[in-house]
Amino acid sequence: MLNLNITHVRMIKKEKEKIRAIDLRRTGLSYSEILRHVPVAKSTLGLWLQSVDLSKKQKQRLTEKKLASAKRGGLAKRSQRLVRVEKIISESEKDIKVLSKRELWLIGVCLYWAEGSKEKEGRPGSGVQFMNHDPLMVKLFLQWLINICKIEKERIGFDIYIHEYRKPNIKNVIKFWSSNTGFPIASFGHIYYKKNKLNPNRKNIGDKYFGGVKVRVTASSELNRKIRGWVSGICKNCRVV
């Protein structure tokens, strides 16, 4: 008899919870909001509420709440990702100790191998020219030229390649590259404007877009050939040829 009474009490409690949940749903509350007031399994709540219709305004409110929740979740994930990325970068920086002169020399050779102009069969005597959009890479290459290859600053000049929509702000572009390279504005000779259309999905556009810079070294065909030999030596010693 006692067990029957306990079961009956539980059934009454469940029925009250169901009525309470339905009433709350009809006010336009979400499942998560209802579960704060009616502590039952979400699957049970779903069965209770499957036949409850909501007004258009209530549905819109729930949709907006879902979108807001998804946005908060996205921002939280982005924040966590940025923390992880920063930690990885910070820890991996420690792997690079003080670089020797030889190491810097090899870095510069590989940089030029990737981004520098090479002597062509039909165009013998080509000088050293290095093109890139990354100011840090350009600065490192200049350090290599000056400190490792002993090239005088007077022999180094620059050209800028940039989309033509930046023409009205070209003075700021030149100042940017002058500041980042440590060379005077007079060192920047030609400006080449690109006429092709910009991809609207690109991020490096607008006021933060400064194009690319070509580093030129006068009377440097011999250095270009030396670099070619250094690259060949790297390939042979790494057994890729």
pLDDT tens per residue, the chain (241 residues)?
A: 556 677 767 777 788 888 888 888 888 888 888 888 888 888 888 888 887 887 788 888 888 888 888 888 888 898 999 999 999 999 999 999 999 999 999 999 999 999 999 987 767 779 999 999 999 999 999 999 999 999 999 999 999 999 999 999 999 999 999 999 999 999 999 999 998 666 656 666 678 899 999 999 999 999 999 999 999 999 999 999 8
Q: What is the three-state SS of 45-107?
A: HHHHHCCCCCCHHHHHHHHHHHHHHHHHHHHHHHHHHHHHHHHHHHHHHCCCCCCCHHHHHHH
Q: Facing residues of 188 across strands? A: 158
Place of tokens 């030149």: 174
Alpha carbon distance 57, 33 (integer Å) = 17
Q: Supply the pLDDT for residue 199.
A: 62
pLDDT at 19: 85
Instruction: Quote the pLDDT of residue 204.
Output: 61
- CA angle 47-53-58, nearest 5°? 115
Q: What is the pLDDT of residue 114?
A: 97
Measured distance CA(108)–CA(111) in Å, rounded: 5
